[in-house]
């Protein structure tokens, strides 16, 4: 009789079903708030993380990316895709899963779905940035692009920034109607708009979250008044942007990791040395965020590996002692570590 595998051979796995149960158990707004705090705590530790622009494999229709980082104790990575054409084929634009591993042994310690978790972490990171950059007392947000990410964005801005009104616009009115239906009864005033121009009227925060694998102009310069905060989510690949260049020239631009954002973000439209501020420096108080009421602040979000690391670590903590995971027999673990072949042979029936 061979010994059973060591406990290290089993890796906690959070399936889509368990992720949904976990979110409902804690409540979505509570999870978004916890995530924003977790990400902010890691932005305080920004300098000690391994950082690299994500590794992207582009095709004519989309991109598949790996997003690794480590804080020296724990390593994490996310697999994520972006395929704007997918929704026309009944598939999602973005899907993801992720891993945490113990740096000391290299053994994985968590495998999790991250399609839902990416929507949550993106929304939480956006709202966390807005907490530092948006005009004080902002109540109304334009939400342009009403796809998979949109309800998460709206709820994060409600829970974390105190937004009470969202003004929705999508080129597909059915997407707007679905988003409005999903947000009904959640304490937000939801206004369905017929144009981007109508959506931005009176909004102190403008979120753009569209998907198109090309340079698009979701916001033109005349749509952006002084004093607003722009949360630009959808421009996150070479050749894929949402804002007219003139808006960038009028804005104070805040980014996650400049070497990645210069490749993927709105600022790919600017000179490579155009000044930008790293968000972690605002959070740690080293550099000012919003300095005047008339300033336009722009969070040029592309999504960075540290945000996924924070999200996975929060999930690992939240599942402890719960039933929201299963153990996956993922690591081959022979009794004699060098007898991998023998383990295989003994498994012959
Ligand atoms: N920054 C980040 O961290 C991050 C994270 C996740 C996703 N994203 C990006 O966010 C975007 C949205 O993702 P999703 O999963 O919600 O995609 P989705 O395909 O589900 O939704 C996109 C929506 O945008 C709408 N749209 C397209 N062009 C438009 C236009 N010109 N004006 C108004 N609406 C328009 C579409 O009709 C669709 O409803 C994608 O580009 C994705 O790559 C960024």
Q: Is the beta carbon of 146 within 6 A of some atom in ligand 1?
A: yes
Q: Is the beta carbon of 114 within 6 A of some atom in ligand 1?
A: no
Q: List residues bridging with 255 in a β-sheet.
A: 278
Among protein residues, the one whose CA lies closest to atom 37 of ligand 1: 172
Q: Is the beta carbon of 33 within 6 A of some atom in ligand 1?
A: no
The answer for residues whose C-beta is within 8 angstroms of residue 320's C-beta and 6 or more apart is none
The whole-model pTM stands at: 0.96
User: In the structure, what pLDDT confidence band is assigned to residue 337 with cuts at 50, 70 and 90?
Assistant: very high
Q: Convert the pLDDT of each residue in 148-167 to its tens digit.
A: 999 999 999 999 999 999 99
Q: Is the beta carbon of 233 within 6 A of some atom in ligand 1?
A: yes
Given a cut of 80, is residue 182 above it in pLDDT? yes
Q: Convert the pLDDT of each residue in 103-132 to its tens digit.
A: 999 999 999 999 999 999 999 999 999 999
* Catalytic position from the list 236, 300, 308, 333: 236
Q: Is the beta carbon of 236 within 6 A of some atom in ligand 1?
A: yes
Q: How far is CA 197 from CA 23, 67, 213, 247, 248, in A?
A: 34, 35, 22, 15, 18
**172 catalytically annotated:** no
Distance 212 CA to ligand 1 centre (A): 7
Given a cut of 90, is residue 251 above it in pLDDT? yes
Q: What pLDDT score does 280 carry?
A: 98
Atom of ligand 1 nearest to the CA of 87: 19
Please name each of the domains of the chain with its CATH number. 7-116+306-346 (3.30.1780.10), 129-303 (3.40.50.720)
Given a cut of 70, is residue 1 above it in pLDDT? no
Among protein residues, the one whose CA lies closest to atom 1 of ligand 1: 302
Give me the long-range contacts of 44-51 (CB less than 8 A, separation at least 24): 44/280, 44/283, 44/284, 45/71, 46/278, 46/280, 46/284, 46/306, 48/72, 49/306, 49/309, 51/257, 51/259, 51/305, 51/306
User: In the structure, what pLDDT confidence band is assigned to residue 349 with cuts at 50, 70 and 90?
Assistant: confident
């Amino acid at each position: 009789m061979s010994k059973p595998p060591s406990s290290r051979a089993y890796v906690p796995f959070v399936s889509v079903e368990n992720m949904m149960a976990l979110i409902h158990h804690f409540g979505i707004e509570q999870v978004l708030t916890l995530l924003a705090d977790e990400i902010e705590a890691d932005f305080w530790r920004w300098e000690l993380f391994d950082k690299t622009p994500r590794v992207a494999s582009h095709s004519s229709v989309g991109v598949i990316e790996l997003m690794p980082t480590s804080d020296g104790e724990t390593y994490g990575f996310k697999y994520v895709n972006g395929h704007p054409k997918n929704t026309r084929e009944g598939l999602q634009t973005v899907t993801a899963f992720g891993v945490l591993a113990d740096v000391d042994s290299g053994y994985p310690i968590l495998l999790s779905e991250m399609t839902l978790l990416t929507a949550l972490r993106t929304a939480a990171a956006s709202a966390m940035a807005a907490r530092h950059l948006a005009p004080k007392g902002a109540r109304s947000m334009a939400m342009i692009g009403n796809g998979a990410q949109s309800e998460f964005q709206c709820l994060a801005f409600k829970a974390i920034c105190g937004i009470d009104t969202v003004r929705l616009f999508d080129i597909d009115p059915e997407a707007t109607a679905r988003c409005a239906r999903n947000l009904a009864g959640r304490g937000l005033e939801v206004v369905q708009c017929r144009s981007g121009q109508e959506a931005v009227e009176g909004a102190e925060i403008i979120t753009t979250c569209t998907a198109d694998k090309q340079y698009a102009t979701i916001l033109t310069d005349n749509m952006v008044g002084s004093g607003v905060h722009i949360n630009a989510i959808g421009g996150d690949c070479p050749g894929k942007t949402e804002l007219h260049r003139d808006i960038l020239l009028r804005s104070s631009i805040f980014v996650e990791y400049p070497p990645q954002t210069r490749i993927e973000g709105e600022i790919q439209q600017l000179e490579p040395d155009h000044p930008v501020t790293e968000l972690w420096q605002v959070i740690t108080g080293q550099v000012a965020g919003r300095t005047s009421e008339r300033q336009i602040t722009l969070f040029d979000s592309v999504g960075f590996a540290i945000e996924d690391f924070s999200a996975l670590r929060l999930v690992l903590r939240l599942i402890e002692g719960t039933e929201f995971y299963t153990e996956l027999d993922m690591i081959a673990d022979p009794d004699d570590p060098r007898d991998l072949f023998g383990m295989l042979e003994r498994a012959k029936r």
